[in-house]
Chains A and B, each alone.
Chain A
Amino acid sequence: MDSAISDARTPASAPARTPLGAAADNGLKIVVVGGFGVGKTTMVRSVSEIRPLNTEETMTQAGEAVDDISEVRGKSATTVAFDFGRISLDARNVLYLFGAPGQERFWFLWDRLFSGTLGAVVLVDTRRIDDSWYAIDRLEHHGTPFIVACNDFGGPEHSPEAVREALDLDPRVPLVSCDARSRQSSKQVLITLVEHLQAHYAGPTARPRQEFA
């Protein structure tokens, strides 16, 4: 598995920036969240029309607004780095796909960074399922709709039922397997998420259960 962990450095030969069309006026967010090395950046790279970029957000503890940087020095600032890619959906809508860490310290930046996100993909390595519990718990807490995608690392097959049980997953949350290196597979994960969003917002009776495709 090509593990491109948070390494979005530009090769010297990378093309220059690709600008958006002049009519672009609506940015949309989908977040890919998961443990270290699970393939978040790989998935972003698979579907992005730009090379994935990397940036960061910093804030001091407990979300205090700090107006004087001298105060920052005396406090422990948390820095969270994240990768992102871009998909132009049509002339006006542009989807930004963020690869974000699932660790604890990340989550108090969630509201600031990812409020208004359409939904999330929880990317799971079935060899390390425990890494995903925290992310799923936080997404439920924030009320962000999500699906679970198991990245295929070529290990032993786990049945959907076993993964679902191990994650204690709500039966309405779709669970799919994918290969984050594949554009087609990653695209299908995003389609599954958006279809889930449609069902989710159409009403509780209309939410289908989905299993491995």
Chain B
Amino acid sequence: MSRPGRDDAPDRLYTVTQGRSSSGPDNPFDLVTLVVAECAPMPGMQSEHTAILRLTEAPTAVVEIAAELRLPVSITKILLSDLHAAGRVSARHPYTAAVPDPDILEQVLVGLRNL
């Protein structure tokens, strides 16, 4: 199976996040938050951080990063929080509202019709 994470030993995930397994409810990253690198990878960085900084040279959604890294989404969010706290990535969070902005819905419709 090529599914990320599932067959990995928990020890690997433990090491990747230094023991944290839950990104917690206050983690601001959404599946579709677009992440952008603010610096180049540096020697000695954790390999997952290096991989994220390379992936996010162009805006890249959290879920794409998780898929490319073959890590569960929650683990990916922890890694992104660390990089964000260190100022190494910036985050473009989705415009969320209880009721979607009519202008955004119209833009979605126009975009779909133009496919």
Contact = CB atoms under 8 A, between A and B. Distances in A.
Interface of A: 9, 17, 19-22, 24-29, 47, 53-59, 65-69, 72-73, 79, 81, 84, 86-90, 93-96, 98, 113-114, 116, 118, 183, 187, 190-191, 194-195, 197-198, 201
A84 B63 contact: yes
Nearest to A84: B63
16 contacts: A22-B58, A24-B59, A26-B34, A27-B92, A72-B10, A87-B112, A89-B110, A93-B108, A96-B31, A98-B31, A113-B73, A187-B112, A187-B115, A194-B108, A198-B109, A201-B102
Contacts of B108: 28, 89, 93, 95, 118, 194
B47 to A, nearest CB: 18
Given A53-B67, A84-B63, A86-B64, 9 more contacts: A20-B60, A24-B34, A27-B33, A28-B108, A57-B73, A66-B21, A89-B108, A118-B100, A198-B105
B115 to A, nearest CB: 5
Given A87-B111, A197-B100, A25 B59 contact: yes
* 3 residue pairs, one from A and one from B, having the closest CB atoms: A89-B111, A27-B32, A19-B58
A55 B10 CA distance: 17
A25 B111 CA distance: 15
Interface residues of B, number: 51
A57 B64 CA distance: 13
